[in-house]
Structure 1
């Protein structure tokens, strides 16, 4: 019976100490409540089959582990919120800038240009860019001629076309150039004598940025619509 009284004294000491602890501010089970419940459990245990010290220590260890997990979760939640806030702040700086994304459509603004790029799998003797209007009609066919394997970058302002930094001896069929609006680009290369469609990436203005509940950023692009930040190939 000596063992039982000794355990009771320890619990009495723990209980008296816990009375001076700060009252928990939430409905969650705190350390004081846990010790009180544990004391009641031990006071009402079978004297002929008392809980041994190993079980007592195990319950305390389990509670401590839960406390550490809770602290870790709170710290991680705070870190996650801070990261999302920082990400949103950085993304807001993209508004008004241009990005390049995969696709064949973009919007030509007044006194602006549309930049595009393609990656050729092989050298071609005949690279051509066809430009279509919003109604689907073919407006311009621009021959880019011989281009070697790799990246080819072009810029179109509605009237003139520049390829890899050089202005082509070509201009739009419209004397004053094409009006601002949405345009679609198709790039075709003659490779091994066969016409081959080449995927394009075009520049577009960022109108706004949306931060989703999942922390993912979506860019709303002029003439294109919503595009995931992860799909951006280049920030211009």
Structure 2
């Protein structure tokens, strides 16, 4: 009399045969879950041929493979959750930047009705004398500020918005230039000024993009936010 359940020396083949018998209800996934796996494993062990039992090494390997696959699936799910959370946090962080000022490499400042125009001059090495010059939209020199000797690094400045006579200049954009002197040699030095942050965007691999009058710049490229 033939046996209704055919046996095989391959544990994996018999397990696949058992998997094909699992019925799924309408609308449910037919993927093999951990519960299905152990149910099939129990059935396989109960139907195995006593004279040709499943190989222990094959059984352990199959269980290990399934456990690893389940672990990777769970890990991917956790990463998706983390990515969603990080995106939400980035959006929240970005929303708080609008209206603040970003220190960007620029040689222009926007003078308001009141307050100082601030920025930073970058000296790669110490200078014996440092001079900051301010010109208006027509190119006329309106103010020269002697900042004396300065060490290497970022040198902060604050222009009060007045001309040489101490009179307040009108609102608008002014151009700055910095000259450093060492051993009688003069050289132009780079300047960074504060720009108003008008809006922000979240752009995938580029992260948070800050939009100012000077244009768009990545948040990671901004030296300071005030």
Q: TM-score, normalised by structure 1?
A: 0.68
Task: Give the SS at the match of 1:111.
Answer: coil
Shift of 1:78: 0.8
Find the aligned partners of 2:57 and 2:188 in 1 and give their Cα distance.
73
Segments of 5+ residues of structure 1 without an aligned counterpart are 160-170
- Cα deviation for residue 156 of structure 1 reads 2.1
Output one character per residue of 1:25-44: Cα deviation in whole Å (capped at 9) or x when no partner: 557x3327985xx99xx9xx
Alpha carbons of structure 1 residues 189 and 11: separation in structure 2 relative to 1, 3 Å: closer
2:202 matched to 1:211?
Answer: yes
* Residue 192 of structure 1 pairs with residue 183 of structure 2: yes
Kindly indicate whether residue 101 of structure 2 is the aligned counterpart of residue 98 of structure 1: yes
Q: What is the match of residue 164 of structure 1?
A: none
8 Å contact kept, 1:97–1:205: yes
Aligned Cα root-mean-square deviation (Å) = 4.2
The question of 1:86 aligning with 2:89 is answered yes
**Count of equivalent residues:** 207
Cα–Cα, structure 1 residues 83 and 50, in superposed 2: closer, same or farther, change >3 Å? same
Structure 1 57/142 Cα, relative in aligned 2: closer, same or farther at 3 Å?
A: same
Q: TM-score, structure 2 length as denominator?
A: 0.71
CA deviations 1:145-194 (Å, max 9, x no partner) are 422314422112432xxxxxxxxxxx3579440x3333332211111110
Runs of 4+ in 1 over 6 A off after TM superposition: 5-8, 21-24
Residues of 2 paired with 1:22 and 1:113: CA distance?
72
Gaps of 5+ in 2: none
Partner of residue 115, structure 1 = 118
Where does residue 150 of structure 2 map in the other structure? 148
The answer as to whether partners of 2:131 and 2:148 remain within 8 angstroms in 1 is no
Deviation at 1:204, TM superposition (A): 1.3
Please state whether the residue corresponding to 2:205 is helix, strand or coil: coil
Which secondary structure state, in structure 2, belongs to the residue aligned with residue 94 of structure 1? coil
- 1:30 corresponds in structure 2 to 32
Q: Is the 8 A contact 1:108 1:157 kept in 2?
A: no
Tell me which residue corresponds to 1:227. Answer: 217
C-alpha distance in 2, partners of 1:105/1:91?
25
